[in-house]
């Protein structure tokens, strides 16, 4: 078991008179002291705007920002010029749809998604299809909530121009065979876009090994600050794409009637970046690397297995998604006929924080035939005691609602 709880100040809190049991990590993870200190140090000692400034604080802030880029690039096995700082996964996916999509997708071109996707990996492609006349296709999932790989391959036979898919479902935890999918997409002559929001914090994200063309993830799900995310793109693709936003560092030269764009990665970073967020994200990457992603993955997998085992012993718990070996550290469930929001409210009274709702996956909830689920999701600082507290608190739900 990982002994890291002391590194996370918020875990010493009490909620509703109970010790906090934080199980809403798929929405946002908590930050260790090292991340908090890195952000505080920036604001307390180095805060200034970056690039072009010649004074000391600006030079220091610029160096901190670019060091952060290099660290994040190393974490995902990319080059610094392939790392674009954005606000979050959603912005990164929209950037690809707007820039690459608008430039290279046309009428009747095929866009392939899966039925596991978050709204952020559906709506930008719907908007692209509406703008261009392209056709959307969704690869099916089976009764376990796993991708039907044969159907995905069939859709690729239709010669798509772009495919976008999650590495791990935020609603069910279902893992997808990213490396295999990316290889099939490349063979079909298409471009792959990976939503790695749930994959990066748990299984890691080696973009070169996976072979994806684009990948997106968020700092706030990776033990870092909110408002910072990353778009990875293969250099040759980023260079072909038109700039998305105009102004600030994305320009090289401007005249009254024209402009030229800056080099990568600044071509896609218009305006002042989230400097403190990037610094905090780099601190989170250092923290995770020190512990070891493989170690973290094993720890979270055991907590997930323990949860599924305990829930399986209660006939009132309805579980959604695949077995523990096929999912990330996410457990979606309902408790009898009790609405997921009521389940979450009762658990909160016991100090247990979970998520409830459609998890920004309304089409997937429709496939499941439910309006919402309760969702417990685990991180490196959770323990078997947290799982026991979750299971024990569910008994309170039964007592209240019968």
- Given the structure tokens 């569910």, which residue do they identify? 394
Distances (CA, A) of 319 to 283, 316, 342, 400: 36, 10, 17, 21
- Given the structure tokens 């909530």, which residue do they identify? 145
Q: Which of 105, 360, 364, 391 is labelled catalytic?
A: 360
Checking phi first, is residue 253 left (phi over 0); if not, alpha (psi -120 to 50) or beta? beta
What count of Cα atoms within 13 Å lies in the side-chain half-sphere of residue 345?
Answer: 7
Give yes or no for a contact between 97 and 125, defined as CB atoms under 8 angstroms apart.
Answer: yes
Closest CA to 370 of 172, 125, 211: 172
Other CB atoms closer than 10 Å to residue 292's CB: what's the count? 14
Q: What secondary structure letter does DSSP report for 95?
A: H
Other CB atoms closer than 10 Å to residue 242's CB: what's the count? 12
Give yes or no for a contact between 251 and 261, defined as CB atoms under 8 angstroms apart.
Answer: yes
360 is catalytic: yes
3-class DSSP state for residue 107?
A: coil
3-class DSSP state for residue 11?
A: helix
CB neighbours of 293 closer than 8 A, spacing ≥ 6? 203, 204
CA–CA distance, 70 with 255 (Å, rounded to integer): 32
Closest CA to 175 of 11, 44, 9, 297: 297
Q: What is the 3-state secondary structure (H, E, C) of 252-307?
A: EEECCCCEEECCCCHHHCCCCCCHHHHHHHHHHHHHHHHHCHHHHHHHHHHHHHHH
State CA 145 to chain mean position distance. 19
Residues labelled catalytic: 360
């Amino acid at each position: 078991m990982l002994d890291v709880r002391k590194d996370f100040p918020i875990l010493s809190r009490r909620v509703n008179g109970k010790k906090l049991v934080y199980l809403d990590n798929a929405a946002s993870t908590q930050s260790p002291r090292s991340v908090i200190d890195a952000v505080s140090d920036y604001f307390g000692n180095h805060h200034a705007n970056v690039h072009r400034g010649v004074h000391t604080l600006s030079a220091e802030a610029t160096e901190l920002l670019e060091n952060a880029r290099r660290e994040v690039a190393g974490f995902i096995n990319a080059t610094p010029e392939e790392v674009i700082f954005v606000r979050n996964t959603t912005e990164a996916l929209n950037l690809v749809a707007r820039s690459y999509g608008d430039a290279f997708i046309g009428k009747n071109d095929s866009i392939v998604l899966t039925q596991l996707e978050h709204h952020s990996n559906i709506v930008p492609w719907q908007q692209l299809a509406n703008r261009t006349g392209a056709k959307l296709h969704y690869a099916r999932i089976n009764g376990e909530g796993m991708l039907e790989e044969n159907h995905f391959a069939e859709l690729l036979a239709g010669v798509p121009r772009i495919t976008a898919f999650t590495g791990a479902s935020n609603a069910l935890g279902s893992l997808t065979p990213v490396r295999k999918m990316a290889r099939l997409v490349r063979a079909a002559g298409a471009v792959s876009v990976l939503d790695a929001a749930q994959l990066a914090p748990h299984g890691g994200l080696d973009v070169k090994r996976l072979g994806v063309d684009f990948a997106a993830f968020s700092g706030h799900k990776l033990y870092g600050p909110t408002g910072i995310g990353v778009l990875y793109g293969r250099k040759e693709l980023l260079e072909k794409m038109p700039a998305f936003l105009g102004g600030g560092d994305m320009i090289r030269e401007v005249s009254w009637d024209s402009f030229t764009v800056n080099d990568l990665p600044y071509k896609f970073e218009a305006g002042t970046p989230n400097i403190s967020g990037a610094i905090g994200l780099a601190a989170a990457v250092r923290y995770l690397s020190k512990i070891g992603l493989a170690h973290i993955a094993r720890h979270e997998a055991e907590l997930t297995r323990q949860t599924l085992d305990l829930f399986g012993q209660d006939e009132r718990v309805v579980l959604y998604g695949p077995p523990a070996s096929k999912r990330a550290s996410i457990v979606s469930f309902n408790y009898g006929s009790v609405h997921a929001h009521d389940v979450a409210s009762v658990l909160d009274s016991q100090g247990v924080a979970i998520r409830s709702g459609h998890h920004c996956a309304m089409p997937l909830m429709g496939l499941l035939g439910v309006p919402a689920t309760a969702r417990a999701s685990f991180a490196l600082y959770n323990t078997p005691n947290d799982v026991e507290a979750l299971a024990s608190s569910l008994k309170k739900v039964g007592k209240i609602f019968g």
